Amino acid sequence: MGDMTGNVSMRRIGPDDWAVWRELRLTALADAPDAFGASLATEQTYDEATWRARLRPEGGLRAVAFRDVTPVGIVGAYFPEEGPDAVELISMWVHPSARGDGTAGILVNEVIAWAQEQRYPTIALYVVEGNDRARRLYERLGFVGTGECEPLLSNPSLQCRRMVYAVDRVERTGHAGGGR
């Protein structure tokens, strides 16, 4: 079933899990509309075929964190379109009831493990300026800011800062983040 920390477990999902992913994704977009490049209004229009297509393994990783049997978080990663330099961490969200309990770290570490399996040297992500809790989490796990900035697709008045993580440091240190 993957990593377990306390009563939180992780499961990679695929097209047959579309309903679970849809529910969590729409909840995430409603909970934190300014944290994602997509909009709730757009994704509410997606049909089952669209959700299934978004969860195809060749499109990247999608994973769900569960507390016992209740889904409490999601994360995704996809292969870069231009060149093999970095996988992009996307769709990161933790249910308010699970924030601060280690679930976010478990989700990010799943992406790190997946990137290592895919032999990608770097993970990149964008964090919205002002989302200090997320930025601090990523810094704690070993991500560093690049200085690059771009507008949030769903709300161009907000800026996103790019952060990267060197996957090869997992091999050198034997673990991803934590313990510091």
Taking the C-alpha atoms of residue 4 and residue 103, their distance in angstroms, rounded to an integer, is: 10
pLDDT band at 175 (very low <50, low <70, confident <90, very high): very low
Mean pLDDT of the chain: 88
Q: State the average pLDDT over residues 22-51.
A: 94
Instruction: Identify the residue with better confidence: 59 or 77.
Output: 77
Q: Is the pLDDT reported for residue 2 higher than 70?
A: no
- Looking at residue 174, its pLDDT comes to 44
Asked if residues 107 and 90 have their Cβ atoms less than 8 Å apart, the reply is no
Please list, in sequence order, all residues whose beta carbon lies within 8 angstroms of the beta carbon of residue 16, skipping any fewer than 6 positions away.
Answer: 52
pLDDT tens-place string over residues 111-140: 999 999 988 889 999 999 999 999 999 999
What DSSP letter does each residue of 48-84 carry, written as one string? Answer: HHHHHHHT-GGG-EEEEEEETTEEEEEEEEE--SSSS
Q: Which fold has domain 4-173?
A: Aminopeptidase (3.40.630)
Please list, in sequence order, all residues whose beta carbon lies within 8 angstroms of the beta carbon of residue 1, skipping any fewer than 6 positions away.
Answer: 9, 10, 11
pLDDT band at 42 (very low <50, low <70, confident <90, very high): very high
Q: Where are the domains of the chain?
A: 4-173
Nearest-10 Cα torsion for 3, 115, 32, 132: 90
